[in-house]
Structures are given as structure tokens and as C-alpha cells.
Structure 1
Amino acid sequence: MDFLDPRVAQLAPYVPGEQPKTKDFIKLNTNESAYPPAPGVAQAVTQAAANLQLYADPTCQSLRQALGDYLQVPAEQVFVGNGSDEVLAFCFQGLMGHGVAFPDITYGFYSVFAQLYGLKAQVMPLREDLTIDLADYQDCEGTIIFANPNAPTSLGLPAEAILQLVAANPKRLVIVDEAYVAFGGQSMVPYVKDHANLLVVGTFSKSWQLAGARLGYAVAQPALIAELNRVKFSFNPYSVNGMTMAAGQAALADIDYHQACLEKTLASRKWTAQALADLGFDVLPSATNFLFVKHPEISGAQLYPALKERKILVRWFDKARIKDYLRITIGTQAEMAQLLAALRELVD
């Protein structure tokens, strides 16, 4: 007997980047931070673990207050969830009843969530140069969502262009996924107070060194935050556990460490981009903690397995418009030097 809902049977699930079972790989394929969490995080998590017999605060009030202070918004405008993926899932569940529009080359979960929740989706092609043209979205009636900077392309849009889209139709919701904004993008968080139809999603997985903790957030005016809470409290009020909340607060308490890790990542990105260009690669200008690159003579399908044989993991997408590209996470300077040595050998 087949118990599976036909809608689920037709899903094409999201495929995460490979997680190697051994420690001998240089892992540049899932855009994690190259650096460990802030020094105070482990102690905070250990202290929180002493209370695992108790439910954590379902409102996440102390974490929301700390995050609001960092983002310079009231706690009432902050929502937190089990990674930004859960936050996005709640958005697709509760805020897209009139359909959704998103780019054809972007974060893979958008299309998965649209299919999972049975939403009418408009998939908008990127320009030939892989940039998002917001003019394409002006006539969309449903919710619009896009990543800025975009993944996997690494390209960002200026805040002014996004504001024009937001202001063009105050009755249409615009969701901006800012997973990589700390690495060079322009955040839309400062504009939330003036636009009831703007919602910004962020994560602690990249610039806060907490991918394994699973902590994401949204910023919007209180009415939208209340709707996200309606979905969350209809699903699992305790989706953010006490140790994750403690880790998030400890990370936020050490801004100097956060900034130091950012600066090291940006310096390695600049060095790697120039070194790849010197090897003949086309390198898109990145506002993220990764580079999107291709070589004019060697395809991504050739380079990806060749690097894997050399114990270096990068990301390759078998999609028509981007199959020649590799997405390369920025690791430590030593890791990037090893990557360049391997690529130089392959290119030569």
C-alpha cells in the first residue's frame, strides 16, 4: 500500500553540498565560515546544556533583544527560527497565498518550498550576465523573493533598486534573503521601519560561524512578525533550542571577533579572486564568502572531480546556464593557497 501523498512523491528535494566523512578534505563547498565560533560560545552552550530538562523560551526574547540591538531595530521586529531555512519555509507557508516569484538561478530551496506548499510560482530568468533584473518583477502580483547577494552567482543589488521595487506596490510583499550580506552587500534592514511590505531574512551560518547551531532570523514590521509567529506556533513553538539561543547571544556579544573573521575572509577572497584571474579564470565580482568562476577551456564538470581527487571539495551545479562554473567557498588563506596550487596544476 502506498501511503505517500502524491504531491510529496513529485518533489525534487533540495540537494545540500557534500559533507565528507573524513577530515582530510579541504571543504570549500557549503559556504560555512573557515573559522571557529567566538571564544565565548562554547562556554555559553555548556551552561545552557545544564538546563536541558527544561523547555527553552518559545519567544526567544533575550536572543531577539540582543539581535535587535545589533541590527538597530526593536525586538518586536525580529523573528528567529531553526536556521534561515525554517524561516524561509514559514514565509512560503504563510505569506505567499497569491503566488511567488523568484529567479531561475538562485538558492535551490525556493523552488522546493514552492512545490512543497503547492504555490503558483513565476521563475524569472537572470540576465545573460547572471544579474537579477528587478524590472522583470514589476508586474508580479504575488510575493517576490530573491537572495541579495544572490547565490550561487555571488552578485549583489544596490539598496536603491530594491527600494524602488518595494515602493512600486505597497500591497505586494518583497522578501530579501540576506544570508551573505555581511561580506559586501547592502542590507535592507534599515528600511523595514518605513515599508510594511518588506521582510528581510538572515542567518548565523555564514558570518557568525554557527552553521551547525541552526539559527536564522527575519526582520519586518510587527504585523508580519506576528504572522510568522502564527505559523511557528502552529508547527513547533520550541524549534530554537536553548543551546542555540545561548550560542547566538554569545556570538553577538563578541563583535570584535565577528569583525576580525570578516576581515580575514574578505582579504582571502580578494587574494583568491586575483590569483584565479591570473590563471585565466573568469571571476564574477563577489559580495559573498564565495567566488563563482569558470575557465574558458576547462569545464566545471571536469574541474570538480579533479579537485575532489585531490581532496578539495567545491560546488558544481549541473544546470544548463551555469554548468561551466564552480562555486568556491573562501576558506583560510592556507586552504586557498592549496586550492590555487591544485588548479594551477590542472590548468597547466
Structure 2
Amino acid sequence: MEFLDQRLSQLKPYVPGEQPQTKDFIKLNTNESAFPPAATVVEAAASAAESLQLYPDPTLGNLTGALSSYLGVTESEIFLGNGSDEILAFCFQALMGKGVAFPDITYGFYSVFAKLYGIPAKVIPLQADLSIDLKVYADFSGTIILANPNAPTSLGLPAAAILQLVQEKPERLVIVDEAYVEFGGESLVPYVKDYANLLVVGTFSKAWQLAGGRLGYAVGQVNLIEVLQRVKFSFNPYSVNAMTAACGLAAVQALPYHEACLKETVNVRAWTTEALRDLGFEVLPSQTNFLFVKGPVSGSLLYPALKNRKILVRWFDQPRIKDYLRISIGTLREMEILVTTLKEILTEPQ
């Protein structure tokens, strides 16, 4: 550590979910899709691999065009990056000059990025029911970033409520991180054309089966997109590789598959919610591909008990949510095994 810049000496990096190196785990800890990519996506990756000696198209024109058509915006209102994490990092570098505000329980990278880039952060506690009270943000003059639906709580806000926040101060930027919006949330993308101070960030990691490909996007008016392009082209114009770009294009073109996977995920989520409630769990209403649950036994005890039985879920060692587990929605068979295993654990002597 002797060469570490002292400005970063207190930095606590983001801790990703465990990625086991064996195939014998049921993996419900990182909110990946339960389904593989469409066959055409795999074919597109293989085809793109034949030209890996060449740099990818830095403009990502084909993918930008397809995504803009799908989202109903112009190509100049789209920005693409190496996962939404890269885009969020660019936002923190370039769009937080007056500081940033976000909830105390939300996506962990927000606090990491604020410290990494030396940005003053106002961290606002969630309400007792773990929901976001937007009224508390009304007087803040810096940038506001909200995950909607929020993670790890799975709770979403209606678009109208966030739009009111956007309208209150046109000089204040509001960034909405919509990583999970396809699973039941209400997107702010249709309103970008009307508000210059609104930026929406999305990802292909969850609903599009491309967590391993690393592809994200932002939607905003041209001035905001140009800022992100300036940062990207000052950092790495080729951050989205050719195989990922080809996969993203093929995924957008495979809409029936995308919609079928979404429908099945929502159905399995509903089944799991009821099954867990029957076991005595409190399950927060979810608009995501995961559930945030509190059981008859603390999450700090259930997490290792499940791991010992080859089921991975996510537990956060934070005072307000240490009794909860975040459980990704897997296949129906995986969720049936989870429920059966939890039932066995709960009936064992504690």
C-alpha cells in the first residue's frame, strides 16, 4: 500500500456477489437472468469473434439504431457503455459538480463512486418501511441519483412522483438507474424528451440475459449524452467490445424471447412470494427479478445455512437490513428447491 494515493486510503470497494467456480450451487445471489441468451445472440457472438483482430466500431451505430427504435428515442439520445456501472462512473465523474444525494440503502456503487471521485454526498435514510421519501430530496441543489426500482429493497416509485422532483428544479439533474425496470417498474425514458435535467440509465445484465457481456445504456437529451461521450472518448473509445455489441443487437432483435423470459420471471416471482409467505416470511412487494425478504430467523443465520446446502443468496451486513435476504428469481425448479430447503432449515432446532 506504500504507493497508494492517500486520498484513496479509506476507500471501501464495492463487494460483488459470490461467483462460485463450480456448477453445484443454485445461484440466487447476483440477480442474473435465470435463462441463457437467445440462440441468435450466441450465434452473433460467435460470428463477431471471427473478426476480433479488428477494433470494434466506436460509434456502435447498429446497436444504437436498434435500441433507439426499441426505446422510442432518437439515436442522439442514446449512450452505450461497458455495463451500466461504467456509465454510472462517468456520471459521477462529470455530472456531480454540486454534490450528489442518494438513499442510505441502495446500490452500493453510489457511495463507492462518491468517495472514489471525491464528491460530497448527502446520504438520505429510507423510511421505516424501506421506501424512498422524495420530499426529503426537494431542497437539495446537487445531482440526485435514484435506483428505481430500488435495490436491494425491490420497491419502485411511480414515474409521476419522480417527474415532480424533476420539475421542481430544472437546474438540478436527476439520474434514474433503471436496472430492473422491465420486471414491473415504470420507466422514465418516455419523458426524457421533455426534460433536459433527466437522465435514465439501463442495463442488459438483467432482463436481456447479458450480465457476462457487460453492456449498459443511458438515455437523455443531446447535451447530457455529449457529456458522457466526451468522458468515454477521453477514457476508452472501445469500452464496448465487438462481441458484446453484436450480442446486444441480436438481443434487441429477439424480442419474443425477451418477453417470454420476462413473463416467466414474473410468474415464478409470484409463486415464490406466496410460498415464502406461507413459511412465515415477510416479502416486500417486488418490481424486480429478486425478492427482499425477512424470515422467522435472521438473514445472518439463514444465509450461511443456505450456503452450506449449496444455495447462494445475498445478505448485507448493514444494521437496518441485517435480518433480510435478497433472493434472485431463478427457474421454477430452483425456487422450489429453495423453498423446500428453507422449510427444512426452519424446522431444525436452532
Q: TM bucket by the smaller chain?
A: over 0.9
Between the aligned partners of 1:3 and 1:15, the Cα distance in structure 2 is 23
Q: CA deviation at 1:129?
A: 0.2
Moved over 4 A (4+): none
Confirm or deny that 1:170 pairs with 2:204. no
Moved more, 57-66 or 89-98: 57-66
Question: What is the aligned partner in structure 1 of residue 271 from structure 2?
Answer: 271
The aligned residue for residue 260 of structure 1 is 260
| 2:316 equivalent in structure 1 | 317
Q: How does 1:103-118 map to 2 (within 5 A)?
A: 103-118=103-118
Query: Match of 2:319, SS?
Result: coil
One-letter amino acid matched to 1:205:
S
Q: How far apart in 1 are the matches of 2:315 and 2:44?
A: 37
Counterpart-to-counterpart distance in 1, 2:260 and 2:58: 32
Counterpart CA distance in 1 for 2:231 and 2:98 is 17
Q: Which residue of 1 aligns with 2:20?
A: 20
1:41-190 to 2 correspondence within 5 Å?
41-190=41-190
Which of 284-293 and 54-63 deviates more?
Answer: 54-63
Shift of 1:8: 1.9
Aligned-pair CA distance for 1:6? 0.8
In the alignment, the residues of structure 1 paired with residue 191 and residue 38 of structure 2 have an alpha-carbon distance, to the nearest angstrom, of 29
Equivalent position amino acid for 1:59 in 2: T
- 1:32 is matched with 32
Shift in Å, 1:54: 1.1
What is the DSSP-based 3-state SS (H/G/I as helix, E as strand, rest coil) of the residue aligned with 1:346? helix
Give 2:232's aligned amino acid.
K
- Alpha-carbon distance in 2 for matches of 1:247, 1:7: 39
SS of the residue 2:234 aligns to: coil
The structural deviation recorded for 1:49 is: 1.1
Query: Offset of 1:7 from its aligned partner?
Result: 1.7
Q: 1:42 Cα deviation (Å)?
A: 1.1
* TM-score when normalising by structure 2: 0.98
For 1:8 and 1:124, how far apart are their aligned partners in 2? 23
- The Cα shift of 1:51 comes to 1.2
Deviations for 1:93-125, whole angstroms, at most 9, x for unmatched residues?
Answer: 000011000000000000000000000000000
- RMSD of aligned alpha carbons: 0.7
Deviates more, 1:48-57 or 1:332-341: 48-57
Quick check: 165-174 or 57-66, which moved more? Answer: 57-66
Residue 79 of structure 1 deviates from its aligned partner by 0.2
Measure, in 1, the Cα distance between the counterparts of 2:46 and 2:73: 29
- Counterpart of 1:6, as a letter, is Q
Among all aligned residue pairs of Structure 1 and Structure 2, give the percentage whose two residues are the same amino acid.
69
What letter corresponds to residue 78 of structure 1 in structure 2? I
Counterpart of 1:342 in structure 2 is 341
Q: Alpha-carbon deviation of 1:237?
A: 0.5
Deviation at 1:281, TM superposition (A): 0.3
Aligned length in residues = 347
Give the AA of the match of 2:308. E
Q: How does 1:294-313 map to 2 (within 5 A)?
A: 294-295=294-295, 297-313=296-312
Does residue 331 of structure 1 match 2:340? no
TM-score by length of 1: 0.99
d(CA) in 2 for partners of 1:346, 1:175: 41
CA distance in 2, matches of 1:345, 1:214: 37
CA deviation map 1:133-177 (0-9, x unaligned): 000100111100010000000000000000000000000000000
- Which letter does structure 2 place at the counterpart of 1:200? V
Secondary structure, aligned partner of 1:105: coil
SS of 2:212 mapped into structure 1: helix
Q: Aligned-pair distance for 1:53?
A: 1.2
| Superposition deviation, residue 304 in structure 1 | 0.2
Distance in structure 2 (CA, Å) of the matches to 1:70 and 1:39: 20
Corresponding letter in the other structure for 1:301: S
CA distance in 1 between counterparts of 2:133 and 2:177 reads 16
Unaligned runs of 5+ in 1: none
Shift in Å at residue 287 of structure 1? 0.2
Q: What whole-Å deviation, never above 9, does each CA across 1:51-100 have from its counterpart, x for those lacking one? A: 11111111111111111010010111000000000000000000001100
Give the letter aligned to residue 246 of structure 1: A
What is the identity, as a one-letter code, of the residue corresponding to 1:331? Answer: G
Greater Cα shift, 7-16 or 303-312: 7-16
- Secondary structure of 2:320's counterpart equals coil
Q: Displacement, 1:221? A: 0.3
The separation in 1 between residues aligned to 2:17 and 2:334, in whole angstroms, is 18
Task: Give ranges in structure 2 of 5+ residues lacking alignment.
Answer: none
Q: Distance in 1 between matches of 2:159 and 2:50?
A: 44
